Amino acid sequence: MNGISLTNMILNLPFAALRAFEAVARHGSFSEAADELGVGQSAVSQHVKSLEEWLGHDLITRGPKRSLPTRDGSRLALSIADGLGQISEVCEDIRDKHRDDKTIVISCDPGFAFIWLFPRLLNFDQAHPEFAISITTDTGLRGVARAEADIAIRYGTGDFHGVTVVPLIRETLSPVCAPQLLKGPKPLRSIADLAFHTQIRDDFAPTTTELPTWEYWARETGQSLPTPVRIRSFSQSNMVVQSTLQGDGIAMGRSPLVMDALRDGRLVQPFPQNVPSPLNYWLVYPDDQRRVRKIALFLNWITTEARQQARQHALTQSGPQDD
């Protein structure tokens, strides 16, 4: 193979499809691969199908419970894993060499970054002006790769391996809405009144046995939910909160994302029942990172911020507001 054809071959490689296929082969599951990559299962399936069409051979034997690689698929998956591992090591080495020692890179999901983290970073900047914060958003279920970030803030059960995992915020759940929904032609005064309002649902959540849904809250509080007049779903938590602030409907309030709006009166809790969420926020970082001064400073700062917010939220929690 001459240099020109080799170059063309490399340029034409479907890298996204190769990565998706390797994840499916490793997990034996399209859904688990989708969770790892932070994309939909249909997208992973399409990537694998396009790769099979590109190569002209089947790579995965699809079954009702497990999807296993063919003989050719196993060879290719092993080659991809080896190649990606070497690429990751080189990238990690390059980023470690060139990353500014004064920059702290944080990985977290977009909703938490937009609602909780961004408004508080000014406090860190004022306390430690010698450091700069860089945010990278990630909706996946992975812990944290050193090449990607110094620290990750993850939402889930805290089940991450090979890294340090520290609780950041314990989440509680209760319906929330804009104050104007407590009044008007269909005032929200009881659980039965939910039938006259739009139910806003948050579709962003890791795949676990329990999710912080309306159904979970109802079961934990012994409530019977009426069928809402309509349902509106969003794939990002910040969109859920924004829609609720606009008075579009009632959302299942996840405390870290609605604490500030409840404290300043932009949102209210129409019902007094609060329940612990099955999911929480966690700090995740490589084991040796705590010894790095800038990381230790940031960890101390963010855990203090989280404790202060939790105390403020405890003071503002109350039942229905009658005006």
Do 58 and 143 lie in a common domain? Answer: no
- Looking at residue 203, its pLDDT comes to 82
- Tokens 């890179």 correspond to 105
Do 87 and 52 lie in a common domain? Answer: yes
Residue from 167, 179, 144, 182 nearest 277 by CA:
167
Give the whole-angstrom CA distance, residue 127 versus residue 297.
10
CA distances in angstroms from 109 to 19, 316, 318, listed in the order given: 21, 26, 29
**DSSP assignment, residue 192?**
G
Do 29 and 89 lie in a common domain? Answer: yes
The amino acid at 228:
P
Listed residues 81, 96, 111: the one ending a domain: 96
- Looking at residue 207, its pLDDT comes to 56
> What is the model's pTM?
0.68
Do 83 and 222 lie in a common domain? Answer: no
CB atoms within 10 A of CB 171: 18
- Chain centroid to Cα 14, Å, comes to 27
Do 176 and 165 lie in a common domain? Answer: no
CB atoms within 10 A of CB 175: 26
**Residue 150 tokens, joined:** 């110094």
Do 87 and 20 lie in a common domain? Answer: yes
Q: What is the CATH number of the domain that holds 260?
A: 3.40.190.10
Give the total number of structural domains in the chain. 3
Do 204 and 164 lie in a common domain? Answer: no
Do 33 and 67 lie in a common domain? Answer: yes
Range of the domain at 219: 172-277
**Residue 320 tokens, joined:** 């229905």
Tens of pLDDT, residue by residue over 174-185, are 999 999 999 888
Tens of pLDDT, residue by residue over 269-322, are 999 999 999 999 999 988 877 788 899 999 999 999 999 888 877 776 644 444
- Looking at residue 200, its pLDDT comes to 96
Q: 275: which strand partners?
A: 173
Do 151 and 296 lie in a common domain? Answer: yes
Tens of pLDDT, residue by residue over 117-153, are 998 998 898 889 999 898 887 765 555 655 578 899 9
Q: What is the CATH number of the domain that holds 13?
A: 1.10.10.10
**3 state SS of 250:** strand
